[in-house]
C-alpha cells in the first residue's frame, strides 16, 4: 500500500470504527503540515495552531464524508484547513486566532526583515495570480500542500505527465514574473 493510500485508509478507519489509533496517526502526520500551510498562507503561528486543531477535529467529526475515489486524504484535509482559514478571515472580527499568545517568547523580527518577508509574500501571491487556474492549482498542491506529482494526478484525475507539465511551465512563468518584477523594482 502506498503511503498516500495508507493515509486514506486511516481516514476510512476513523469513519468506520472511530478508531482512535488511526486518528492519532493522522493527527501526527497532518497537524504539523496543516499548521505550516496556514503559516505560509499568512496566519500567525497561534492562529495556525488553533486552525490546525480545528481542522483535525473536523476530520474526526466528518471522516464519514471522506471519499478516497474523489481525492486523497491530504487533499481532503488541506481543503478543510483552507476552508476554515477562509471562514475565519470572512468573520473579519478580531478573535482568539488573531492573538499571538507567545509574545516575548522570541526576539522580535527586525523591521527590514519583516518588510522584506511581506514584500516577498506579496510578490509570490501576485505571481501566482498570473498563472492559469490549472497551473496555480498544481503548484499550490505540490508546494503548499506538499503532495507528490502522483498524488496530484490522482486527486485531479489528470495524467501524471500533464501535472508535471503544468508545474514545470507554471514555475517558468513564476520565475519570469518574479525576475521581471525585481528588475523593475530595483
Among the residue ranges 64-68, 108-112, 120-124, 173-177, the one predicted with the least confidence is 108-112
**pTM for this structure?**
0.51
- Name the band, by pLDDT with cuts 50, 70 and 90, for residue 70: confident
- Name the band, by pLDDT with cuts 50, 70 and 90, for residue 72: confident
Cα–Cα dist 158/93, whole Å: 40
CB of 15 within 8 A of CB of 64? yes
DSSP structural state of residue 147: -
Is the Cα torsion angle 67, 72, 78, 83 positive or negative in sign? negative
All 3 cell numbers of residue 97?
486566532
Closest CA to 163 of 147, 178, 144: 147
**Structural domains of the chain, ranges and CATH numbers in brackets:** 1-100 (1.10.1740.10), 110-186 (1.10.10.10)
pLDDT digits (tens, 9 = 90+) for 132-166: 989 988 888 887 778 888 889 998 999 999 999 99
More confident site: 52 or 88: 52
Helix-, strand-, coil-residue percentages of the chain, each rounded to 5 = 75, 0, 25
Residue 89 scores a pLDDT above 60: yes
Closest CA to 45 of 108, 100, 119: 100
CA distances from 101 to 53, 78, 106 (A): 16, 25, 12
- What proportion of the chain, given as a percentage, has pLDDT over 70? 79
Cα–Cα dist 151/145, whole Å: 11
Cα–Cα dist 59/76, whole Å: 9
Residue 6 has φ and ψ, to the nearest 5°, of: -65, -40
| CA 129 to chain CA mean position, Å | 17
Mean pLDDT of the chain: 80
pLDDT digits (tens, 9 = 90+) for 13-36: 998 999 899 999 989 999 999 998
Amino acid at each position: 500500500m502506498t503511503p498516500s493510500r495508507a493515509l486514506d485508509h486511516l481516514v476510512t478507519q476513523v469513519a468506520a470504527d472511530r478508531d482512535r489509533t488511526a486518528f492519532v496517526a493522522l493527527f501526527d502526520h497532518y497537524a504539523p503540515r496543516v499548521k505550516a500551510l496556514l503559516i505560509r498562507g499568512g496566519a500567525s503561528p497561534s492562529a495556525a495552531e488553533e486552525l490546525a486543531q480545528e481542522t483535525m477535529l473536523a476530520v474526526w467529526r466528518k471522516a464519514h464524508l471522506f471519499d478516497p475515489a474523489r481525492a486523497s486524504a491530504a487533499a481532503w484535509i488541506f481543503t478543510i484547513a483552507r476552508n476554515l482559514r477562509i471562514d475565519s478571515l470572512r468573520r473579519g472580527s478580531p478573535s482568539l486566532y488573531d492573538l499571538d499568545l507567545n509574545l516575548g517568547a522570541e526576539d522580535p523580527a527586525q523591521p527590514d526583515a519583516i518588510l522584506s518577508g511581506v514584500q516577498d509574500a506579496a510578490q509570490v501571491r501576485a505571481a501566482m495570480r498570473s498563472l492559469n487556474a490549472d497551473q496555480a492549482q498544481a503548484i499550490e498542491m505540490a508546494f503548499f500542500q506538499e503532495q507528490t506529482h502522483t498524488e496530484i494526478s490522482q486527486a485531479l484525475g489528470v495524467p501524471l505527465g500533464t501535472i508535471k507539465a503544468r508545474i514545470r511551465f507554471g514555475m517558468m512563468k513564476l520565475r519570469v514574473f518574479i525576475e521581471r518584477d525585481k528588475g523593475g523594482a530595483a
